[in-house]
């Protein structure tokens, strides 16, 4: 058995064939079945299988692209549950982006932030206010709602406004550390939500607790985006952008300075890393991912109200990061996907299954104990289990492995170059003799 596993781990061909079989079976069953969550989830998890193959990065991205862009939407489109699957997939994408943003702040820079959902709210309200008549209450010029074409611009605006809020939050907050930072950010998250909740007087900006209804849908080439199956593609593009961005930063001067600050502030500063700037950059970049997704969320729901941005949401995203593996990009992606699916699919499925049992009278369970109401309990249990048995998460963070041979050669080459520039003494002596 073990040797078989070893062979599998080394043989790319076998991996490829198995992956192909797996993807074909799951997508075929998703295509044939009228409504099978299992098939849908199994097809999604083919990406995990893909992650563990030995293929080149480019190959992996290509295969993932084919599965996500064509296979998943196409095979799901055959059943009645098409839109609900796409809704789940869209939300998974939104949460992954946010978790990746929080991962920069918490995982890489080591700043515990319990109010992260605030930046999502800022993005959502930015679009929500201007894509409805709401803005005409306080804007002296312009006609509102803005057209659906403005949505694309608003993704950028949401990104910048959230980054700005990240910096505004950062400036006062960075004087405190550790537990205090957590408390202050928690307060900030709540303050933002309460402000949005109360900003209907004296000037009605956010429409308060009533929320902002009928947000204009995005529009491209005359087509309105109304269904989850359409938003899915918007989210996919932004998600791809976030993953690439995080990857770039992670292995650069900036990512290293985040980690250095996390590991030892005093040593980082002594090495020339500016503390405040580095932390603010983490806050701003992390927040910007959330801001973009906030804009998408507002457009997708066509409705924005403060109840979407509670402390529980901030905690949920934090749990995704911790579960997946703090500082680990693949880990956080997996953590966010698992948590979102657990939340949206598994818990609701189990609930409806229990309800069925209830109605047939086979089994009775009080309403208060229905699994979808025990979300917090389940998160809590998961956290405890992970803290005990897998403190570094599902896929723990790994350091970049540098190619020793390449560096050796580079070093040797440079040394040789130096010697040629500076002739050694024997040559000088010879020259003098001549």
Partner 1 sequence: MSILEVQNLTKKFGGITANQDVSMTVEKNSITAVIGPNGAGKTTYFNMITGVYQPTSGTILLNNEKLNGLKPHEVSKKGIARTFQNIRLFSEMSVLENVLVGMHTHIKAGLIGILFNLPAIRKEEKASEVKAYQLLEYVGLAPLLNEKACNLSYGAQRRLEIARALAAKPTVLLLDEPAAGMNPKETNELTQLIKKMRQEYNLTIILIEHDMKLVMEISEHIVVLDHGEKIAEGKPEHIRNNPKVIEAYLGSGAVQAG
Question: Considering only 18-26, 41-49, 271-279, 340-348, which stretch makes contact with partner 1 by CB under 8 A?
Answer: 271-279
Interaction of residue 220 with partner 1, rule CB under 8 A: no
Nearer to partner 1, 71 or 162 (CB): 162
Output the DSSP codes for 158-212. HHHHHHHHHHHHHHHHTTS-HHHHHHHHHHHHHHHHHHHHHTTSSS-SS-GGG-B
Instruction: Show contacts with partner 1 in window 43-72 (CB under 8 A).
Output: none
Question: Considering only 138-146, 202-210, 245-253, 423-431, which stretch makes contact with partner 1 by CB under 8 A?
Answer: 245-253
State the nearest-atom distance from the C-beta of 412 to partner 1, in Å. 10
Instruction: Look up residue 356 and give its two tokens.
Output: 């069925």
Question: Considering only 67-75, 120-128, 305-313, 396-404, which stretch makes contact with partner 1 by CB under 8 A?
Answer: 396-404
Q: How does DSSP classify residue 362?
A: S
Nearest to 192 by CA among 311, 28, 92: 311
Instruction: Look up residue 108 and give its two tokens.
Output: 């890489």
Phi-psi map region of 135: left, alpha, beta (phi>0 left; psi -120 to 50 alpha): alpha
Applying CB under 8 A, among 13, 270, 368, 388 the residue interacting with partner 1 is 270
Interaction of residue 369 with partner 1, rule CB under 8 A: no
Interaction of residue 391 with partner 1, rule CB under 8 A: no
On the 0-12 / 13-18 / 19+ scale of CB atoms within 10 A, 141 is exposed
Nearest to 316 by CA among 91, 166, 87: 91
Coil/strand/helix, residue 33: coil
Q: d(Cα 169, Cα 163) in Å, to the nearest integer? A: 10
Question: Considering only 226-234, 274-282, 302-310, 334-342, which stretch makes contact with partner 1 by CB under 8 A?
Answer: 274-282
Instruction: Look up residue 357 and give its two tokens.
Output: 């049992």
Question: Considering only 12-20, 24-32, 272-280, 306-314, which stretch makes contact with partner 1 by CB under 8 A?
Answer: 272-280
Interaction of residue 271 with partner 1, rule CB under 8 A: yes
Q: What are the residues whose beta carbons fall under 8 Å from the beta carbon of 70, sequence distance 6 or more?
A: none
Interaction of residue 264 with partner 1, rule CB under 8 A: yes
Applying CB under 8 A, among 64, 275, 342, 344 the residue interacting with partner 1 is 275
Q: d(Cα 121, Cα 192) in Å, to the nearest integer? A: 8
Applying CB under 8 A, among 57, 360, 399, 432 the residue interacting with partner 1 is 399
Interaction of residue 289 with partner 1, rule CB under 8 A: no
State the nearest-atom distance from the C-beta of 155 to partner 1, in Å. 16
Applying CB under 8 A, among 175, 407, 423, 429 the residue interacting with partner 1 is 407
Instruction: Look up residue 433 and give its two tokens.
Output: 């003799």
Cβ–Cβ under 8 Å, residues 319 and 339: yes
For partner 1 (CB under 8 A), the number of binding residues is: 34
Nearer to partner 1, 252 or 352 (CB): 252
- For partner 1, the binding residues (CB under 8 A) are 245, 248-249, 252-254, 256-257, 259-260, 263-264, 266-275, 281, 399-402, 404, 407-408, 410-411, 414-415
């Amino acid at each position: 058995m073990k040797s078989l596993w070893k062979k599998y781990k080394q043989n790319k061909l076998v991996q490829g064939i198995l992956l192909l079989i797996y993807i074909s079976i799951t997508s075929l069953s998703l295509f044939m079945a009228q409504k099978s969550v299992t098939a849908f989830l199994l097809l999604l998890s083919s990406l995990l299988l893909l992650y563990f193959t030995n293929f080149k990065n480019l190959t992996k991205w290509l295969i993932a692209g084919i599965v996500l862009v064509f296979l998943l939407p196409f095979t799901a489109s055959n059943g009645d549950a098409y839109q609900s699957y796409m809704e789940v997939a869209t939300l998974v994408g939104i949460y992954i982006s946010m978790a990746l943003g929080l991962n920069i702040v918490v995982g890489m820079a080591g700043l515990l932030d319990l109010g992260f959902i605030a930046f999502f709210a800022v993005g959502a309200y930015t679009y929500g206010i201007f894509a409805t008549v709401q803005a005409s209450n306080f804007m002296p010029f312009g006609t509102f709602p803005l057209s659906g074409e403005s949505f694309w611009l608003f993704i950028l605006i949401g990104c910048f406004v959230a980054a700005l809020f990240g910096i505004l939050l950062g400036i006062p907050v960075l004087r405190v550390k550790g537990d205090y930072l957590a408390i202050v950010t928690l307060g900030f998250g709540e303050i933002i939500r309460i402000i949005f909740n109360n900003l209907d007087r004296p000037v009605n900006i956010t429409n308060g607790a009533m929320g902002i209804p009928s947000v204009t849908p995005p529009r491209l080439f005359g087509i309105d985006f109304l269904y989850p199956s359409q938003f899915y593609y918007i989210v996919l593009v932004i998600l791809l952008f976030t993953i690439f961005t995080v990857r770039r930063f992670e292995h650069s001067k900036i990512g290293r300075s985040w980690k250095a600050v996390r590991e030892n502030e005093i040593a980082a500063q002594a090495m020339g890393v500016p503390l405040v700037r580095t932390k603010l950059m983490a806050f701003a970049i992390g927040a910007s991912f959330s801001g973009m997704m906030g804009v998408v969320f507002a457009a997708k729901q066509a409705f924005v109200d403060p109840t979407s941005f509670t402390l529980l949401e901030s905690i949920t995203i934090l749990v995704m990061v911790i579960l997946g593996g703090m500082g680990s990009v693949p880990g956080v992606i997996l953590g966010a996907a698992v948590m979102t699916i657990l939340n949206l699919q598994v818990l609701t499925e189990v609930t409806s299954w229990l309800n069925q049992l209830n109605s047939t009278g086979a089994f009775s369970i009080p309403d208060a104990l229905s699994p979808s109401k025990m979300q917090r309990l389940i998160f809590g249990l998961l956290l405890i289990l992970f803290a005990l048995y897998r403190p570094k998460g599902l896929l723990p963070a790994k350091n970049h492995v540098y190619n020793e041979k390449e560096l050796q050669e580079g070093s040797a080459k440079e040394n040789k170059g130096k010697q040629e520039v500076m002739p050694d003494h024997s040559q000088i002596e010879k020259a003098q003799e001549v």
